[in-house]
Structure 1
Amino acid sequence: MRADVSAVAALDEPTRWRLYAHVARQPEPVSRDEAAEALGLARQTAAFHLDRLAEESLLDVVYERRTGRTGPGAGRPAKLYRRAARDIAVSLPDRRYELAAGLLAQAVEEAGETGEPVAAVLHRKAEERGQQLGRQATAGIFEVLERGGFEPRREDGAIALANCPFHALARQHTRTVCGMNLHLLEGVLAGLGEDRLVARLAPEPGRCCVRLEPAA
């Protein structure tokens, strides 16, 4: 999320925003000279801001020969810019609706193919995803929870989750989303090999519906 915030902040500069919008509108990659001419900028100014946008992964850089010639004497390829394929979204508090949508879509598709209840497939897929997140972690449970947007806090040996990454969905479809979230966090604990904690449903106003408590 920090990288996304940095990218959005880069667009706060008016000239940079105009350049980004111009490149995004074009069907083909744009050169520095073309961008400068279109917006009435000095070439050096356009180049500086285009490169800054590329550094923030807002634009992709490609190299092409515009002359159509190839081989010796064809000249150096031109540095061109096009809108990056990367999606950038900033939400405060942190939300992870794409993760929920992916798990729900997988569950619906697999249930349609196998006849298994959607909820059972969703719980399994959520647990598998949680295990993957746990195995990828290098610094323990707090790393996974913070990266997932849960805002973990220690409370009397337990870990309370101050933020629900699926807030709007959980409000509208509480049973489905909280069940998915519970199995996701059970998977995280399993992936980490963490047997000192268990995930339990413990809904409280303004918090995630799951709480990690000491194992009996």
Structure 2
Amino acid sequence: MNSKTFFHQTTPPRPPGQGRAFVAILAGFVALTLLWQAAGLITDWYWFQEVGYERVFLVTLTTQIKTALLFAAVFFALFFGNLSLARALSRKPFFEVREGTIVLPPWKMGDRAIGGLILLASLLFSVFAALQGAVRWESVLRFLNATPFGTPDPLFKRDIGFYVFQLPLLNDLYGWLMGVLIFTLLSTLLVYLLRRAFVFMPPRTVQVSPAARAHLVA
């Protein structure tokens, strides 16, 4: 038997209805989440209407929707874009697998299956990103309607209003974006792992495909 063998991109048969069941469960979970949010909005609307502050409610709701859409769009662009790039760069096998080489996972996910998984995961996590954006509506309004205090700080010569109204949101956005980038990096690594862009040669050698290495360090 030849000591060198190539692994092939074979897609294992998928049980009938498995994909549809997963999509149905995912859609149901998202629907329940949105219904929960809608119930809270309806309750708030009746309360604001009762006290005569409908305009306050509408401004709040509009800001929440815009912020939610912005957060969802940014997350989807980063997450779906990087994972789709990883999928495209790992369509073909990269390595000769020799005796003693450990290839993980022992099975290989097909291109179509992983494409659907990437899309579903991107949509699902974008919903959570939208919810994270919606709860920041108050910080966004403070940022957009910042009022200068007329007193600069002695060190950086910035108006005190910047630290009260704008800096908190900037710090919050920085932390959120760093979290998204780390999560996207880990998810991209998972895609490359599922596509066998890594091979392990005991005891300590790890080989990474050139395309995966260039993508991950870019």
TM-score (norm 1): 0.23
Q: Determine which structure has greater relative contact order: mean sequence separation of CA pairs < 8 Å that are 6+ residues apart, divided by chain length.
A: 2
Structure that is richer in helix per residue: 2
